[in-house]
Structure 1
């Protein structure tokens, strides 16, 4: 059956389209998750457990950086006193399954974005629909950049801080497997979605919910919110918070620029 035009679609038709979007996206995630399931050795030993090793690339980078600026080895990580344990019978299997699904979501993100584009494209102008490839590539790059930032910056900073934090010498950190993986999952996926801010602002400007002037007026409040978010998703030290806050504020400024461009085009159409 031929696909209906936007003007011909009822509310139930939109719900049906949304239902199939979710079904196809779920199938894509599960397909990618199945592939990831068979690469568990690499995903767990090399990727997930990488930030708990003192020779992780991020720790070496900060160590070299501190020596470059004459700070001796003040930023060098020499020990991460923690062990990973599984305290439930199905703990490792559950971790394997959910990690595979998370990997499936990350790997399948471009397809999910493509499905999202197909869902909203009927509401766009004909000339805007031609930018499908640009939209998908840009959104995917932003997401993967956020994931990499979360993995190489947020996750190791959090792991190092929390592993070395102690209230008594009588306590040793035997970290539950699920707790450790949850930390890495939230750090990477949250940053990936957070880096989609320019895309979100683009569509909010299109539908008139935000304007360039409102984004500029709320810049100082946004900075406070970003610092609060940085304090939540990073260890409570100023260096970690600044490292997280800087790229987010850069994305916010880029979002303002995007909003200006969209707003000017809409004004010309009027």
Structure 2
């Protein structure tokens, strides 16, 4: 992979000063985009062949609680394509992140390159943790709770496969996005926008805001709201701890810049 996207040093790619020309950058970008697109297509075809097993993985969370039906003739087939497209995207995202980093790395400083790579890895990792938390903890609890609600005896717990897949994908995206909170705080702290004192003083307001956001983005029941709000509160505590670390790095960088400016003024 490294040789495939190696910076070309031909006359058409390098300028007189040894830097890569615009055409060279565009060719490199094209190669990276084509690679990711081909990988996505191959992954999609592979997952389409096992789409029924992917559906089984999703429905396993509600096993014994719901009966799944297909209302429209094409509904089952559409869901096969849907889960295959999403699974292929999940496989392709780490490669997309790598190529974004590799393409931007030559134009970044060493510290910027490290931080940019850390943000990409941390973002992917937190999103995966959020999805796994939803799959193993939150979703089974929500589904069992909704299936166990008391009601008329003649009401049968059934749901269309399309509605169920949409519900699962929505919850996965919500928890994946929610678990990105520490990353957002790290970036803002490194930029000096958010400080530890601000995180502590806003704690009470943020708890209320977290429960409000959880009520908006989740299905209209208290259990779903609580299952989203509690991890968000825990993530806020973790974010406060990370804010102390990265805000200190921001202050150290600012002090170093001030020292360099003073040295330049003395030399002048």
Determine which structure has more spread, i.e. the larger CA radius of gyration: 2
Assess if the C-alpha contact under 8 Å between 2:79 and 2:162 holds in 1.
yes
* Matching residue within 155, 158, 169 for 2:139: 155
Residues 116-154 of structure 1 deviation map (CA, whole Å, 9 limit, x = unaligned): 445665775322414566544433322221111111122
What SS class does the counterpart of residue 82 from structure 2 fall into?
helix
Gaps of at least 5 residues in structure 2 are 1-7, 255-268
Matched with 2:62 is 52
* Matching residue within 201, 217, 224 for 2:185: 201
Matched with 1:91 is 75
Matched with 1:187 is 171
Structure 1 residue 144 and structure 2 residue 128: aligned? Answer: yes
What SS class does the counterpart of residue 146 from structure 1 fall into?
helix
Residues 195-233 of structure 1 deviation map (CA, whole Å, 9 limit, x = unaligned): 122222222333444333333332222212322343442
Aligned residues: 238
Q: How far is the alpha carbon of 1:176 from its aligned partner?
A: 1.3
Structure 1 residue 213 and structure 2 residue 197: aligned? Answer: yes
Distance 2:244 2:70 in 1: 51
* Matching residue within 151, 173, 177 for 2:157: 173
Matched with 2:90 is 106
Gaps of at least 5 residues in structure 1 are 55-79
- Residues 246 and 266 of structure 1, relative CA distance in 2, 3 Å threshold: same
Structure 1 length normalisation: TM-score?
0.70
Assess if the C-alpha contact under 8 Å between 1:157 and 1:234 holds in 2.
no
- Say which structure, 1 or 2, has more relative contact order (CA 8 Å, 6+ apart): 1
Structure 1 residue 236 and structure 2 residue 247: aligned? Answer: no
Matched with 1:42 is 53
Structure 2 length normalisation: TM-score?
0.71
Aligned-residue CA RMSD in angstroms?
3.6
Assess if the C-alpha contact under 8 Å between 1:102 and 1:185 holds in 2.
no
